[in-house]
Amino acid sequence: MKGTLGLAAALLLAALAGACGPSTPQTPTTPTAEPSAMPGATPSATPSGEPGPAGTTAPTGGPKTGPAAGGAPSQPIVASKLLEDVKKVGIDLAKAPDIGKLPMDKKKKVMPILQKALGYDACTGCHVEGDMKAETHNKKVAREMWNHFVVGLRDEKGGPLFCDSCHNGKNKVLNRGDKEAVKKFMETEYEGKLSRSDKKEHACSTCHGESMEVAIIDKLWKIPK
């Protein structure tokens, strides 16, 4: 069964690879407010002209080249190097809340850490320059990844994950050139090396749902391309 489900999961992660960096709820959670400025990072000078959702311009934070871009192997699960940084801003990832429920002071402090984990050079990797409250595709995806993966998943020993556990400073994490290789990679890394925070059995359906929906970003998370 893993072989069949793993192939579906491979297609899922291919979709995720083009978006920003983790869990339980299937419905997107929208923060009540957004920071007016991101500490610790300087937005790029000019966003691209490509239109984003809700009439915004597309983020242009300049992701660093990831494994998928240059034919290098897919990025394996690694121990997060940022857990202590997150802890210092007052967030306990062992009991991480949905990102929309984070107090604003903690949200402002964790954003530069998210930026580092995802390999963006500036806040505009997810945000619109000059309007941090504006919704963008990357911002919505990053929010859902936090809620589904940082909140809902753990490592194989039950320890907390952070965005760099999968991204490790790279925006793109999958080499999709060989479908069989992606299938094996996902079975080994995303199924074999992760567990659920609710202690239930972890399987492909944890991310894909019982219907095994491949396009989770637009079909399950309701975030259009």
pTM assigned to the model: 0.68
Each residue's pLDDT, cut to its tens digit, for the chain (225 residues) gives: 444 434 344 433 444 444 433 333 334 344 444 443 334 443 343 333 333 333 344 455 554 444 444 467 899 999 999 999 999 999 999 999 999 999 999 999 999 999 999 999 999 999 999 999 999 999 999 999 999 999 999 999 999 999 999 999 998 888 888 888 988 998 999 999 999 999 999 998 999 899 988 788 999 999 998
The rounded distance, in Å, linking the Cα atoms of 196 and 204 is 12
Q: What pLDDT does 150 receive?
A: 96
The rounded distance, in Å, linking the Cα atoms of 204 and 77 is 16
Q: What pLDDT does 102 receive?
A: 94
Phi, psi of 102 (to 5 degrees): -70, 135
Q: What pLDDT does 182 receive?
A: 85
Domains in the chain: boundaries = 2-40+74-220
Name the CA radius of gyration of the chain, rounded.
16
The rounded distance, in Å, linking the Cα atoms of 54 and 57 is 9
The rounded distance, in Å, linking the Cα atoms of 82 and 113 is 7
Q: What pLDDT does 189 receive?
A: 95
Maximum separation of any 2 CA atoms in the chain, in Å = 49
Q: What pLDDT does 51 receive?
A: 37
Q: Which residues pair with 51 in a beta bridge?
A: 57
Beta-carbon contacts of residue 55 (< 8 Å; ≥ 6 apart): none
Residue 175 CB-density burial (10 A; 0-12 exposed, 13-18 middle, 19+ buried): buried
Residue corresponding to tokens 């790029």:
44
